[in-house]
Structure formats: structure tokens, C-alpha cells
Chains A and B, each alone.
Chain A
Amino acid sequence: MCTIKEALIQAKNEDTFLQTVLDLSLGNPGHYQDVADGIVYLHNNNLIDAINEFYGLTKVIEKSKFLAVLHVFELALPHLKDTVKRVIACLKHLIKEGEQIVVGIISPPLIKYFVSESSRPNEAIDLIQFDSAEWYDFIAPCLMAGAVTDFQYFYNKTMQLKQHNNIEIRKRAIFVLGKINYPKNNIEVNASFNSLNESINEENDNNLLGNLVVAIFNLFLIDSSLEMKAINSINNALSKAGDFTLHAISQIFMQHAEGMSKEFLSMFRFHLSKVLAVNEMTINNIDYGITKLIKHNNVDEAIHFLEYLLLATDINIKVFDSAVYLLCNSHKEALNKIATLWLLRGEYKLCIALKYIMDSQGLENISLEVDPMVIGGCRGSQLIYLARKAVGYLFFKPVTAASILTSLLDYADTEIAKEIESLLFYPLLINYSGSVLQYLTDAVKVKTGIAKNAIQASINQLSSYLKNLQVEIEIKELWPELSQREAYSRHHHRNMSSLYKEAQKNSIFTSTTTQCVMLYGKKSINYIYALNGQSNRVEIPMQKYGVTIEIPRLESLDPCSIQYLLHICRAEKPIL
């Protein structure tokens, strides 16, 4: 078996260098480094011309393969011995072929490449100054690397370029001011800050302003005493910001949400609420930022953030899938708080979001409790308002709705309890005499006082209702016609079937497995072949599965009343 180096030399000779790089790298993450090391060795010993070979990488190949080969080059680049001009020319080609994403990928290794020989940043800056339009993609790595080797020279260079006529160069210089490694307690931090602050007033380009706010925030990270100034500056910049600037601060929020002060969070919340629903990347950043807040136990701020965004924008809660998942699966109290706050506010967007959270996370029969901190100061009328909102929006999650109502009873006086009791009976118990009755029967055992009495009274009302209903009465004349029963059955089956197919489309299970339809029997006989070719007979018993759905009783007996009640409960205005 030949070594990686031998294989690479052979490939070079056979003109299959990049394919071989790909073949050798794939299959094991560790192989990338081995192949990169091989390339470095061969290139530095003049056995191959790696720069020349990587010129062969074009967008003709699949994107995933392009990125895999690029990754090898990324690993090799810091250690290659070659002229700056050849290296950045090759990188320019790769940027052209792989588009802007390549700039982000190759910047860190390029900085390392520049840093590894102190003359390289100077060489690069000369080239760039000679033809800045040709090489401006390399300005930032060059300046950042240069600041490592000769801070003052390259800092001054950066400040100069910040005043350049070419906006593309200014953009990069501004970016660098936030990124370079300032020596400890360096007074240039303040100088940079002031300079950036001045640019806020002078610049209007959206991308440039994005770089500005990132740079200012980075300076604040270096010197926290700049916080208030940074907030003011970013506020100023954002006052004339567009999508890109918002995207930039969404990235800051994503990366630093957990450590942000209330003031910063408040400012970010305000500006990020201007994001448009179509800007998915920006919204994803916000989602990750909120997720970080939750992970770091800043749940109140996370809820506040979500609430603010939902109310201020047309964004659907479902785009915050990471935050919602985390809220529902690790912070039961958070869900209680969301339910209490949002139902109490009664805003349509918030309540629909709550409903979505319950639906999307499969929280079928979860019981919630009102948050004592939120509910503590509420008046009786507000308790009723919250109860009616819970009924209106969570009617199809009856146990959840019932649990909120029962928890409200703990804060209710006799009069309020009477109203909640009546809501427990109608529409909850009367419609869901299975699941809700079971829940309340359990609840009545642990509750005391007014709450216990109210729950018991609602259960008694149900008993009396069911007794009078006399479900056993048989009046054949009232039964639907056979043809109608059959038509309904066909209609129902058709609906179920299309829903099933719709659900299957999104199923991970069906996308990763093959389907095998068995018409008879209750076991599947399979032969499994071992590596030695021997077969083993295996019987796999089939499992039954099923779901039970409790249809609201009044859905068929009195649909309009229920729809009307739910509509009213949802539409009621908050009590001031």
C-alpha cells in the first residue's frame, strides 16, 4: 500500500491530484489533516506545486466536494512556503469559484500563513496598496496578521485605510478595528472607538454600518467601561440601519446573548424587532441567541425577547424552534410562566404562539400551573380573564386548559371560584368527560378549601348532566340514514387517509427506512446474513399501535355554541 505522499505524487503525475485529495480525505475526519500534512511536505520540498494544483479546483464539481477539498487546503495553507502573491492569487481564484463563503473559510488560515513569516504582511500590504481593487478581500487578514507582528504600523495603516476613498476598503478597515488584538491597556482602543463613532455619522452604507456595530461591540468586549458609549453608538448606527446591519447585530446577539447586560439586551430587543420575516438567517441567529439565554437560566429575558418579537413583527413562533424546544423540554416553570404571561396579556399573536408551542412539542396532556409571581398581584376579574383565554386557546388541549383553571382556583375567592367552576364544567368537562374528568378526579384529591369544592362541584355537575343524557336511549327513527352513514364514513376515511399521507411526508422514520407491506400474519420472517455468509432466521413479531383521540362532545351536538364561546373567549379585550 502506498503512503499518502506517494499517492499524491502519483496523482499529480496522472493529473488526478484533486480527486485523490478528495478520495484520501473522505471517510475519516482525521484524514484531512494527514492529507494536508502530506501536501505541505511535498510542496515545501518542491515535489509538487500545491498552489498550482489547487488552481484546478473549480465550481464544476459538487459543492460538498468543493468544500471538502477546500478544507484540506485550509489546513495546509498556514504551513505552505510560497510567495504571498502566488498564495493570494490562488485564494482569489478559489473565492471566485466558491463565492463569498470562501472568504470566511480561508481568512483564519491566511492570517496564520501571514503571521508565520513577519515579512508576509508587509509584502501583502504593498501588493494591496498597489492594486487595492484587485486584492481587497485580503485586506482584513493582512491587517490582522500584521497587527500581531507589528501592531503600531498596521494599526496606523488600518486607520489610514479607514479613510480610503474606496468603500470596500473602508468596510474592511472598520471590521479590522474591531478584530485586531490590541495590546493590554492600549490607548488605541479608545482611539479606535472614537474613530468608529465618527464614522457612524459619516457613513450610510448598510454593510459598512454592519461592520461598524460589530467593531464597536468588539471594542466594548475589550473594554467594558465603553458599555454606555457603545450602546449609544450602536443605537445611532442602527437608527439608519437596514437588513445587513440587523443581521450583523443578530450575529452579535447569537454569540454573546448569555453575557449581555440588561441595557444591551433591551437595545438589541428593540432593534431586532425590526427584522423582516423573510430574513431567515437573521431570525435563526436570534433563535440561537434566545436559546443561549435559556441555557444560561435567563428565562425571563428569553420570554421577554420572544414576546417582544412576536408582538412587533409578523414572525411566526415556529421559526424559533430551538428556543421553543428548549423551553418546553427543560424548563417546565418557563412554560408555566409563558402560559400565565401570554394568556393574561391576551394578545392574539401571543396566545396563538402559546397554542403552537403546545401543538408542536407534542404536549398533549401536559398540566400547567399559573406562575405565582405573575398571578400574585392580579385582581379577580383578571383571573377570570386568564381562565377564559385558556379555554379559548387551549380548548383542544383540554387537560392543559383544565390544569390552568384548577391552578387559578388557588388564588380565587368564592365568587371567582364559582365562575371558574362553571368554565370547568362548560365547556371543558361537558366536552371531555374522559380526560378532563380523570384529571379533575385526581386534582380534587390534592386540592383543599375553595379549590377542592369548586372542582368537586364541577364534577357533580357533569354527573348530573350525564345522568340526564341517558346515553342508552334508543330511538332508531333518529339515527342517520344508512346512505348518510356510509357517505360520512367514506368522507372520514378519505380525510384520515390524506392526513396520514401528509404526516408521512414529514416523517423522518419513513425517509430513512424502506416500506414493506405485509398483507397477512402477525410476524415477519427475516433472514439475516452474517459476514461469513451464514444466514440466521429471525422472526420479528408485529406490534400494535394506536392513538386515542377524544372528540369534544359538543362538536357534534352543538358546534356553533362552542365555536362562538371560543371565539368570544379569544376576542375578549384585556382587563385594564
Chain B
Amino acid sequence: MKLIIKEYLSSLKERDELDAILPDLVSQLGLNVFSTPGRGTRQGGVDVGAFGSLEGKPEKVYLFTIKSGDLTRSAWNASSDQALRQSLDDILDVYIRTFLPVEHKDKKIVICICLGGDIHEAVRPSVEGYIENIVTNKDKYPNIEFETWNGDRIAQLILSSFLQENLMLLSAQSKLRKSLALLDTPEISYQHFKSLIHFLSQKTFSKESDRLTALRQMNICLWILYSWGREENNIESAYLSSEITVLYAWDIAKEYMLIKTKSAKAIQDVFRSILNVYLQICSAFVDKVILHIPNVHAISSAVRSSNKIDVNLKLFDLLGRIAIQGIWILYSISVEDQNSEKQLKLRQQYEALSNMLKKLIATNPILLLPLKDDQTIDISIAVTFLMHDDNNHEEIKLWLNEMFNRAVFSYRAHGDYPCIVNSYSELLDHPKRQDDDYRKEVTSGSILYPMIAFWAVRLGDIDLYENLKAFKQNELQHCNFQLWFLDETSEQHFYRNNEPHGAVLSNVGVILSPESFAAQILTECEANPYFKTMSAIKLNLWPLILIGCRHYRLPVPIDFNTNLL
């Protein structure tokens, strides 16, 4: 286990990664953190500041300066501000004198050189010489000590504090190891990680500290999985695992999100940390594909399968993931100050990503026809994202029209029309038979068509609505057009998907006039209060609902398009 953690530590970058876990680590070790890393310029060379007693020794002030990977000569003494020697000089000359809180002024100070890796032998004499010069100069630096926390030491501390046997059973450690070992078969790796997350969060938390520990364990495990995946150039398992981790973490942390106690704040901090890892993984994933999107068929080809089903499933999945990334940008825009510089920057990001999403559809025409009805979930997330900008509406209309036309064509030709078959092996045979009985059986229900009808009405595309209505009346009478709504049990089960929940509005009135159809849906939305009472909605972290829908393959509540945007 220690080797696994060392490997993970050595791969971490300084910014947002090694310095992100250190506050949790020292808190878990019993220190009180008084300074955490912030973006931009650091405070006098200190990444993390903490006070307290470690391993039974007297209480001291610990000032951590963090360097990723191994300490090389250039990392020690380069001309940049990021060099370790410069950071140590800053701590001694600036931080202790200027930034150290007054209550810690006269206390013993330990300057901790924190490394993801190790000190190279070539540079060790220089470091040791530097330290000796300081500690022997008692006149100038009477209370200063040095410690080096290399990868080996941090791994040991993580193991003893986060993953120690009484906190995390051997079986859980085994799940983590398996998920790491099987990164190249992401679906299996993910299953092990999911089992680990389930294990960590299944107990009833009697104390807040237990809750905090569980969240920290989830956080560190997710970090380890991500860093290993990154090394393997395959973050698929990390992506899926991060979704489930953030959903479970929310379920654990949600009741503390409005509480202002110290422990509640710690819980909020760890949840935010998990959310950050998730967002980082999402971003890394999208960055991998985005470069190739403008080239026709490039992404479809990258699936590397001669089977059209593989390409179809992967492309719609990708569509959903990119859209989710966009949804987070939308969310960030909504929480930033109006017209602030940051919001403007986010708006640019929104525009760039929405252009990319549209391009993805244009360059990969397989996205013009879902094979499975549940791919409506990905389409819904994408439309929810794109709808935010009026400039996208024409393209959404074109997309939906094309999708509808192709669905009708395929349905009539007994081709690859959207069906409710979910098993992959059954999909391989779809359409199994070219007869009406089979076609009726696999199109006995749909969320796709009512969603298209809904957007058609929202976008004022009455022709599309009328065409769909005619199709329903003439050829899909057997099909139950339905919409899914959250119910009173959804808050309890949505984030973990541990029980079925929600309610379905059957026989949605696509046979009505567009106005009556819209009215029927709005009436149901108003009659159903449960969307608004979901914690993620109430506490304004609504993208979590979309993550849950994407991950657990639940239809996107139509309330998103009537309430939020």
C-alpha cells in the first residue's frame, strides 16, 4: 500500500494537487491548520501553516513548503521564485517576520520541506549545508528547526492517518489496489472503486469526525486513482469513480453545508476538495478529446471499433460528458458576480465549449440518431447546456429535426431505430427481426420523443412538433411517451441510487396541441414539489442532479428546462 501511495505522491503536481491534500493530512494528524494554499502568489514561501503536536512531541508551528516530485538541482536553486531555496529564504526573511500570526510568534517553528518524491543525492549536500547554516545560527534564528517530509514519509503518514487498519479495513485497501491494478479495464476498475466508496460510506456516522474521516478517505483514494490513471494515460475509471464519489460525498456532507461550526466547515472543505478533484478529472477528460473534435469522424474513429454500436454508445456518452463540463461552466457563471472579469472569462469558456459541442455533432454524424432510448439523458444534458444561449437555438432545432427524421426513417426501414433494449449483447442483434411485433416490443416506451416534442415547443419549432405528433398517432400508438419526475423518496436515494425512486408521467400528450402539451408539462412540474426540495437544488449545487442522471442513467428532470434556465 505504501508503495502505491508513494507512486501516487511522486506523480502529483505542486499546484492544486500535493498542496491540496496536505491540509487534510496535517489536520488528520492532529494539527490545527491556520493557513491553506491559495492561488497566485503564496505567502512568503509557505504553502500550509499549522500548529500543534505531532507524535507526542511538544506543540510547534509547522510551516510547509511544497515541491512536487524529486528535488533536483534546478528545483533547489533555479533563478525562479519557485525554487526551494528561494522559498526557504522567503519563509525566514518574510513569512516569519511579517505573516506568522502573532499568537505563534514566540513558539518553536519547524520548517517542513515537503516533497512528493525524494532529494537527489547531488543536491543533498547543498540542502543539508543550507539547513546547518540556519540551525547553527542561533542568534539570528533561535527557534527554527527543519524537517524533510519526502514521499516516503508522507506515504507513511497517509497510511497511518487516513488508511490505517482500524479506519479502513484491509478489504477496502484491497478494493483500492484492485481498482488501480485494473485501470486498463476501466469498467472493472470502476466497479472495485465503487465498491470501495460504498464501503466507506455505508456505516452510520455516530460522530462528525467519522464523517470527516470517511470523506477524507474518499478524497485521497480518488486522488490516488486519478494520479495512477493519469500515469497510465487512461482516466476512464477515474472519471466514472469521481462521479460516484462526488455524489456519495454530497450525500454524506449535505446536511453540514449550511452549518458554521468548525467541524462542519471541515466537512464542507473536504467535500469541496472532492468536487475539485472531480472537476479536474472532467476537465482533463474533455481536454483529451477536444483537440480532435474539428476533424470529421476523428472522434468516432478514435473509438477504434468496427462495430457501429460501440461508436454510437461512446459518442453519446462523450456528448453527455462534454455537456456536463459545460453545465459546470454555466453553474460557475451563475455564482459569479454579474459582469465580473471572472464571469466574462467563464462566458468565453461557455461559448468555446458550446461551439465545440456543436462541432462534435457536426463532425460525428452518428450523434444524429441515438440507438438507445436512454441516450436521451445525454441529449437532454447537451440541450440543457446549449439552450442557455439563444444563438444556439437554430442549431439545436436542426439537430433535433435531423434526429427525428432519422429515427422515423430507421423505424420505417427496420434499421437502427432508437429502442429500449439496454443489454449490449441484445443491442448487437438489434433489430433482431424485421417485423412489427419486435419493433413494437422494443419501442413500447420512450423518453426520447416526448423530450424532442418538449424542446420543439420551447424552441417554437411547431413543424417538428406536428411531425412528431403525426408519427405518434400513425405509427407509435403502442409507445408510452413518458417523462420522469423526482418524488418524495428521491432526496433519500438519488445520490446513491440505492433504491428505485421517482415517478413517471405516462402517455404524455404529444397528441395535443403544442400549447396544451406544454401546459400539461408545466402543470405537472408545478404539482410536483420534489425537484425544488432536492438538497442539491436548495443548496444551489444543481449540476449534481445532472451528474446523478448521467451516471445512474436516470432521465433529466424536465424541471431543469422550466425552472433554471
A contact set with B: CB distance below 8 Å? 465, 468-471, 473-485, 487-488, 491, 551, 553-561, 563-564, 567
Say yes or no: is B303 at the interface (Cβ < 8 Å to chain A).
yes
A477 near B299 with CB under 8 A, answer: no
A477 and B234 contact, Cβ closer than 8 Å, known pairs A469-B298, A556-B306, A556-B307: yes
Instruction: List the one stretch of B285-293, B349-357, B546-554 in contact with chain A.
Output: B285-293
With A469-B296, A487-B425: A564-B406 Cβ-Cβ less than 8 Å: yes
Chain B, interface size category, equals 35 or more
Contact between chains at B300 and A557 (CB < 8 Å): yes
> Does B410 reach chain A (CB closer than 8 Å)?
yes
Q: Which residue of chain B has the shortest Cβ distance to A484 in the bound complex?
A: B424
A468 lies within 8 A of B295 (CB): yes
Bound-state Cα–Cα, A465 to B429, Å = 31
A480 engages B413 (CB within 8 Å): no
B134 within 8 A of A: no
Identify A470's interface contact among B184, B233, B292, B364, CB under 8 A. B292
- Tell whether, in the assembled complex, residue A475 and residue B288 are in contact, meaning their CB atoms are under 8 Å apart: yes
Shortest Cβ gap from B504 to chain A (Å): 29
Is B185's beta carbon under 8 Å from chain A? yes
7 further contact pairs, Cβ within 8 A, besides A470-B292, A558-B297: A469-B295, A473-B301, A477-B289, A478-B299, A560-B366, A561-B365, A564-B406
Complex CA–CA separation, A279 to B184 (angstroms):
63
Assuming the contacts A469-B296, A556-B305, A559-B308, asked whether A481 and B186 have C-beta atoms less than 8 A apart, the reply is yes
Interchain CB contact under 8 A, A478 and B297: no
Q: Are A488 and B366 in contact (CB under 8 A)?
A: no
Q: Which 7 A-B pairs have the closest CB atoms?
A: A468-B295, A476-B234, A480-B310, A477-B236, A557-B300, A556-B308, A558-B365
Chain B: minimal CB distance from A326 (Å):
35
Contact between B187 and A481, CB atoms less than 8 A apart: yes
Asked if A482 contacts B301 (CB within 8 A), the reply is no
B505 located at the interface, meaning its Cβ lies under 8 Å from any Cβ of chain A in the complex:
no
Q: Does the CB pair B296–A491 fall under 8 Å? A: no
B388 at the interface (CB under 8 A from A): no
Cβ-defined contact, B303 with A473, below 8 A? no
12 contacts between A and B (CB under 8 A): A473-B301, A475-B292, A476-B184, A480-B310, A482-B188, A488-B309, A488-B310, A559-B308, A559-B416, A561-B365, A564-B406, A567-B413
Instruction: Name the distance in Å between B505's Cβ and chain A's nearest Cβ.
Output: 30
Residues in chain B near residue A480, CB distance under 8 A: 303, 305, 307, 310, 313-314
Which residues of chain A come closer than 8 Å to B428, judged between CB atoms? 487-488, 491
B288 touching A477, Cβ below 8 Å: yes
CB <8 Å contact, B298 and A468: yes
Separation in Å of the A485 CB from the closest CB of chain B?
Answer: 8
Closest to A551 in B: B306
Residues of A within 8 A of B154 (CB): none
How many angstroms from the CA of A349 to the CA of B304 in the assembled complex? 38
Find chain A residues with CB under 8 A from B305 CB.
Answer: 479-480, 485, 488, 556
Q: Hey, which chain B residues are within 8 Å of A554, CB to CB? A: 297
| B465 in contact (CB, < 8 A) | no
Complex CA distance for A469 and B295, rounded to whole angstroms: 6
Contact of A477 with B235 in the complex, beta carbons under 8 Å: yes
Q: Of A485, A558, A560, which contacts B300 at CB under 8 A?
A: A558
Asked whether, in the complex, the Cβ of A478 is within 8 Å of the Cβ of B410, the reply is: no
Which residues of chain A are within 8 angstroms of B235 by Cβ–Cβ distance?
A: 477
Which of A465, A477, A559 has most chain B Cβ within 10 Å? A477
Whole-angstrom distance from the CB of B403 to the nearest CB of chain A? 10
Whether B369 is near chain A, meaning CB under 8 Å from some CB there, is yes
Q: Which A residues are CB-close (under 8 A) to B368?
A: 560-561
Contact A563 B298 (CB under 8 A): no
Interface presence of B311 (CB below 8 A): yes
Complex contacts, B310 vs chain A, CB 8 Å: 480, 484, 488, 556
Most chain B CB inside 10 Å of its own CB: which residue of A473, A475, A487, A491: A475
User: Once bound together, how far apart are the Cα atoms of A71 and B410, in whole Å?
Assistant: 61
Q: Which residue of A lies closest to B410 (CB)?
A: A560
Chain B residues whose CB sits within 8 angstroms of the CB of A567 once the complex forms: 409, 413
Residues of B within 8 A of A558 (CB): 297, 300, 364-366
Contact B424 A473 (CB under 8 A): no
Q: Is B415 among interface residues, defined by CB-CB distance under 8 A? A: yes
Chain A residue at minimal CB-CB distance from B292: A473
Among residues of B, the one whose C-beta sits closest to the C-beta of A468 is B295
Chain A residues within an 8 Å CB radius of B365: 558, 560-561
Q: Is B302 an interface residue (CB 8 A)?
A: yes
Q: Report the bound CA distance from A557 to B312 in whole Å.
A: 8
